[in-house]
Chain A
Amino acid sequence: MTGWLARRLAQAGVTFALVTLFLFVLMRLTPGDPLQRLGSDRPIPALEEARLRALFGLDQPIATQFGRFLESAAQGDFGVSIEHYPARVGTLVASRLGPSLLLGGAVLAVNFTLGVWLGVLQARRRGSRLDRWLGRLALAGYAAPTFWLAIVLVSLFAIEWRLLPAAQMTDPLLSPDAGPVAVALDVLRHLILPTATLSIVTIAATMRYQRTAMLEVLRLDFVRAARARGLGEQRVIWRHAWRNALLPIVTLFGLWLPVLVSGSVFVEQIFNWPGLGSLAFGAVIARDYPVLMATTMLVSGAIITAGIATDLAIHLLDPRTKPA
């Protein structure tokens, strides 16, 4: 097991290095340039542009730029943002990480608790009216465009019924000396609509995977054998059947895990959620190389880590798949 893990980690290191190189080069080969936008407001003297180019190291060959980037990144320094000059990239990313983790965590929690429960319920009532309607509703949610659904929810819950805030993560009018409980409740109220939007469009996959996996397990002999030894229905369903229908869900969960740091561009834009998704989106538009490098490396690192974590979880959950 430890040998397997060491091998996987070594492979992950190589992958991560290659991805970093690829991202760096690709970004600079993409048309556009961080300083181009400056010229759209006002004419910039050539001398000033040359000074700025030198300041951000953009006058160097790509190899030199990459070398410098690696050298400082290895020390945990991702440089200074061009768009948000003179903010440091590390500070920018750190300030956006919390909101992304919060939104992503809420979506994963809703998606996988509710999705698993509904999928199991569908499987237990296979072919019933409940099963069919849950399937249709989930599919409708899956088919809904994210931005459209977000706008519909905002216009209903925030504008029509005035139940929930339309945007932001906190109420700007909240008294600055509000207690921690009041602040937490305020954030929670702001969290509901973006979480609902993302959950509605993604829960169909969880439900379908869970329903199919559960149906496959429920017809196996050991489920009947568990009933035959006099176990209660809940124990038969969850401990015996679901425990065996868990692996596809763990895989799916692993694929979703990077959403914690990648955020969701659409939802963060519409709800003005101060997460990494909107930071990355802004960085793409502005060709803000340092911020783009930091956010994309964070996401690719999360994807690679989630892959290893998924395999590890599967090995731990299924005694038949002991890695060599």
Chain B
Amino acid sequence: MTGPPLLEVDGLRVEYPSKAGPTYPVDGVSFSIDRGEVVALVGESGCGKSLTSLALLRLVPNPGRVAPGSVVRLDGQDVGRLENEALRAIRGGRIGLVFQDPNTSLNPVLTIGYQVLEAVTAHRRLGKTEAKQRVLALLEEVGIPDPLARYRSYPHELSGGLKQRVMIAIALAGEPDLLIADEPTTALDVTIQAQILELLERLRATRRMAVLLITHDLGVVAGRAGRVLVMYAGRLVESGPTDRIFSDPAHPYTQALLRSIPRLTGPIDRLAPIAGVVPQSAAWPLGCRFHPRCPLAVPACSSETPPWRATAPGHEAQCWLVEGTR
């Protein structure tokens, strides 16, 4: 595909004020997503991946903000400069967002039908019956049995899986070009997780929308995403085609992540957890942020941020050890 990508993110930083000066839990993230593409954003809890997705819609929780100089372009349009109506047209309109926990993301005192309806009418003028038809069609599309009965249900009357389907219906209400799914299965039972992921895949295929799948679970990524972005401590450390990330990970962090996934085939071995924890945004390590936990660290790692180096076309990592050119 030629032309500008659907979404272009350049140097995205999220700033939080603190007594000791501002901190940057998201600190210079750049990537792009093409139309219809599925991209996975992977990283441990606390690495800033959820905040990245919220920052795209300027929904960073108070008192944080998207730092000046960050660029988010949707079809070439600078989202950072939009206000009020124009911004709302993006939120839930061009970009739909599915949250991690459907149990807390639906308003407990409003009916399911009402909440989908307001998402529908927020983005287009429709008559009363037309709008309701649209809601029922959406509920049907996300696989909710007996939509008419569910229309009048309250969130607490639905299971977690059904609630997440409702959240997906809400995200689809504005016919988005990009669906951001922020850990969409983390809060669900394992048996439900696969169903939700299949639903997302089916919707992507029929609606031809792009999907940004945010997860800490590399197992979810395999076979679903075309491209993987690996995030660590507020920055991307590696990006590349999914099969290459799995077969030939370049960054030591990605390699460590892969070793920590349990496998059903092959010899039963001990899992290899990554020693230590993700550092706090108030004290990002100097140089490569992974170096305090990196088994392969060399002196340069602790003093200077490594450059991006490509190991293959479209496969890059930010590591001193990667042999390659840029």
Contact = CB atoms under 8 A, between A and B. Distances in A.
Contacts of B93: 230
Given A224-B61, A230-B89, A319-B154, A243 B110 contact: yes
B263 to A, nearest CB: 34
Nearest to A217: B107
A129 interface: no
Interface majority SS (helix, strand, loop, mixed), chain A: helix
Interface stretch (B97-105, B221-229, B276-284, B302-310): B97-105
A229 B99 contact: no
Contact of A227 (B59, B107, B173, B174): B59
10 contacts: A222-B106, A224-B54, A228-B97, A229-B97, A229-B118, A230-B91, A230-B174, A231-B118, A244-B107, A317-B109
B134 interface: no
A86 interface: no
B156 interface: yes
Given A229-B91, A240-B110, A320 B154 contact: yes
A229 B92 contact: yes
B81 to A, nearest CB: 17
A68 B270 CA distance: 89
Contacts of B57: 228
A320 B108 contact: yes
Residue from the set A227, A239, A240, A243 with the largest chain B CB neighbour count within 10 Å: A227
Contacts of B61: 219, 224
Contact of A319 (B97, B119, B156, B167): B156
Nearest to B154: A319
Nearest to A320: B156
Nearest to B94: A230
B109 A243 contact: yes
A232 B167 CA distance: 18
Contacts of A243: 107, 109-110
A248 to B, nearest CB: 14
Given A220-B104, A228-B59, A319-B156, A244 B92 contact: no
A230 B109 contact: no
Contacts of A317: 109
A73 interface: no
A224 B59 CA distance: 7
Nearest to B105: A225
Nearest to A318: B109
A224 B107 CA distance: 10
B91 A225 contact: no
Given A227-B91, A229-B119, A319 B108 contact: yes
A244 B108 contact: yes
B88 interface: yes
Contact of B92 (A219, A220, A230): A230
- Chain A interface size, as a band, is 20 to 34
Contacts of A221: 99, 101, 104-105
Interface string B104-134: 1111111000000011001100000000000
A239 B119 CA distance: 13
A93 to B, nearest CB: 40
B170 interface: yes
B108 A229 contact: no
Given A221-B99, A235-B118, A228 B108 contact: no
A243 B167 CA distance: 20
B104 A222 contact: yes
Contacts of A230: 88-93, 119, 122-123, 174
A308 interface: no
A220 B101 CA distance: 11
B245 to A, nearest CB: 29
B265 to A, nearest CB: 38
A240 B114 CA distance: 11
Interface string B28-64: 0000000000000000000000000010010101000
Nearest to A228: B97
B88 A228 contact: no
A226 interface: yes
Nearest to B90: A230
A221 B101 CA distance: 8
A228 B92 contact: yes
Contacts of B107: 222, 226, 240, 243-244
Contacts of A319: 108-109, 154, 156
Interface in A130-155: none
**Nearest 8 pairs between A and B by C-beta?**
A230-B92, A229-B92, A221-B104, A230-B91, A225-B105, A229-B119, A230-B88, A319-B154
Nearest to B116: A229
